[in-house]
Amino acid sequence: MSKTYKIAVLPGDGIGPEIIDQGIKVLNAVSKRFGVNFEFTKALIGGAAIDVEGVPLPDSTLELAKNSDAVFMGSIGDWKYDKLDPAIRPECGLLKIRKELNLFANLRPVVVYDELAASSTLKEDVVKGVDIMMVRELTSGLYFGEPKGIELRNGEKVGFNTMIYKESEIERIVRLAFDIAMKRRKKLCSVDKANVLDVSRLWREVVERVAKDYPEVELSHIYVDNAAMQLVRNPKQYDVMVMENMFGDILSDEASMLTGSLGMLASASLTDKGPALYEPSHGSAPDIKGQDKANPIATIMSAAMMLKYSFNLDKEANAMEEAIKQVLKEGYRTADIMSEGASLVGTNKMGDLVSEKIVCNILN
C-alpha cells in the first residue's frame, strides 16, 4: 500500500474555487496514472471564511493546514471586503497562514514556454528562453515590520510601516537562494536598495558573508529600480533572484508578464519544518469569477511544485509539466494567453485537457 499524501485544500475567493478544482482534477489524473494517493480536505480562508466564521483564517483551517503534508491554495480577496476593518480583510488570512506556518521562502518560477513566447507583450526574442527563479522572502520585511499603523500626529493623520530584517532572517533566505542556484545555472542576483535603505545595507552585508560558502556561484547585486528595468530590457541575464518581501511582490508580478500572463506564474512557499503551501502567484480576479474564463495553469503548475518539493514525486511532477506543454503545443489557450489561430478554451476544459494527457499514457 503506497503512502497517502494529506493535502489541505483552501480554495478561497473569486476564481480560487474553479482553478483549485482543475488542480485537484489533474492530481486525480496523476493518481490514476501513477498509483499515488492523495487525500484532499477542504477548508475556508479569506473572504469565504469571513462570510461563514467572521475571520479570514479560522483556527480550524490553521489546524488542518498544520496537520497536513502540504497546503494547496487558490486565491483570496474580493472588492466586497475592501471596506472591512484592515485587521480582518481576506489578505490577513493569507499573511497569517504564511506567518503561522513559517513559510519564509516563496519560490516563483518565471519560465517562458516557447509556445507562449509570442503571447507576451514584450518582443519574442527578448522573452524566448527566459527561465528565472524568483526567491521572495515571505514572513518579514515591510509586510510584517513593527511599528506600523495610521495615527494622529500634530493634527493630521500619518501612516507608517517598517522594513525590518534580522540577520538570521536574511541569512536563511539567502542560503536557500544560493542552494537553488547551485542546482541551476549557478548565478544569483540579490535585489536591494542599498543606496538608500539601511536595511538593504545589512541585507547586502549578509549576502556577501553567505557567498563565501558558495564560491562556485556567480553573485551580483542590483538596486530594485534597476532590476525592474532590467527585467523588461534583458530578462535572460537572470538565473536566480533573491529579494525582500515587498520587492518580491512587485517584481514577480512584473516578471509574470514575460511569460505571457500572470495566469502562468506558479508559486511554492517553503519552510524548514512542517507543511509548505502552494498557490498561484496571481490574485482572485473577482471580475471573471464563475465565468469559466480563468487560466488554471499557474494553479496546476503550483500543484506540480507540491509534488516536487513536498513529496519528492519528481516523475509525476514532470508528467504534469509535460502535459501542460503538450496542451499548449496543440494550440489550446485560455483567454488571457489567446493568440490568433489558437483554440480558445475555458477553465474547466483546460483542466480536462491536461488531465487527459496525463492519463492517456502518451507520456512515459
Catalytic (active-site) positions: 143, 193, 225, 249, 253
* Neighbour count for residue 171 (Cβ, 10 Å): 15
Q: Residue 184 corresponds to which cell in the numbers above?
A: 541551476
- Give me the least distance between CB of 47 and ligand IPM, in Å please: 12
Report what 91 binds from Mg ion, ligand IPM, none; CB cut-off 5-8 Å by kind.
ligand IPM
Chosen residue from 19, 94, 268, 358 binding ligand IPM by CB under 6 A: 94
Contacts (Cβ under 8 Å, ≥6 apart) of 182: 214, 216, 217
* 281 near ligand IPM, judged by CB under 6 A: yes
- Secondary structure of residue 198 in the 3-state scheme: helix
Chain residues 235-274 in contact with Mg ion, contact rule CB under 5 A = 249
- Give me the least distance between CB of 77 and ligand IPM, in Å please: 6
* 249 near ligand IPM, judged by CB under 6 A: yes
Place of cell 499557474: 298
In the bound state with Mg ion, the residue whose beta carbon lies nearer, of 69 and 249, is: 249
Q: Which residues does residue 41 pair with via DSSP β-bridges, in sequence order?
A: 8
- Distance between CA atoms of 19 and 210, rounded to whole angstroms? 39
Helix extents (H) in 239-340: 245-256, 297-309, 314-329
In the bound state with ligand IPM, the residue whose beta carbon lies nearer, of 144 and 223, is: 144
Report what 94 binds from Mg ion, ligand IPM, none; CB cut-off 5-8 Å by kind.
ligand IPM
Chain residues 59-88 in contact with ligand IPM, contact rule CB under 6 A = 77
- Give me the least distance between CB of 38 and Mg ion, in Å please: 27
Q: List the one residue out of 7, 6, 10, 8 whose CA is nearest residue 57.
A: 10
In the bound state with Mg ion, the residue whose beta carbon lies nearer, of 58 and 260, is: 260
- Secondary structure of residue 106 in the 3-state scheme: strand
Annotate 344-359 with three-state secondary structure: ECCHHHHHHHHHHHHH
Report what 257 binds from ligand IPM, Mg ion, none; CB cut-off 5-8 Å by kind.
none
CA distances from 91 to 86, 163, 341 (A): 9, 19, 39
Residue of this chain nearest to ligand IPM (CB atom): 91
- Distance between CA atoms of 358 and 344, rounded to whole angstroms? 21
- Give me the least distance between CB of 249 and ligand IPM, in Å please: 4
- Give me the least distance between CB of 118 and ligand IPM, in Å please: 26
- Give me the least distance between CB of 177 and ligand IPM, in Å please: 18
Chain residues 283-322 in contact with ligand IPM, contact rule CB under 6 A = 283
In the bound state with ligand IPM, the residue whose beta carbon lies nearer, of 9 and 36, is: 9
- Distance between CA atoms of 354 and 10, rounded to whole angstroms? 22
Residues in the interface with ligand IPM (CB under 6 A) total 6
- Distance between CA atoms of 331 and 350, rounded to whole angstroms? 11
* 137 near Mg ion, judged by CB under 5 A: no
DSSP string, 40-70: EEE---THHHHHHHSSSS-HHHHHHHHTSSE
Give the max Cα distance, the chain.
Answer: 70
Chain residues 109-128 in contact with ligand IPM, contact rule CB under 6 A = none
- Give me the least distance between CB of 267 and ligand IPM, in Å please: 7
In the bound state with ligand IPM, the residue whose beta carbon lies nearer, of 278 and 309, is: 278
In the bound state with ligand IPM, the residue whose beta carbon lies nearer, of 23 and 38, is: 23
In the bound state with ligand IPM, the residue whose beta carbon lies nearer, of 53 and 91, is: 91
Long-range contacts of 50-59 (CB under 8 A, 24+ apart): 50/81, 50/84, 50/88, 50/90, 54/88, 55/88, 55/93, 56/88, 56/89, 56/90, 56/91, 56/92, 56/93, 56/94, 56/96, 57/92, 57/93, 57/94, 57/96, 57/97, 57/100
Q: Interface residues with Mg ion (CB under 5 A)?
A: 249
Q: Interface residues with ligand IPM (CB under 6 A)?
A: 77, 91, 94, 249, 281, 283
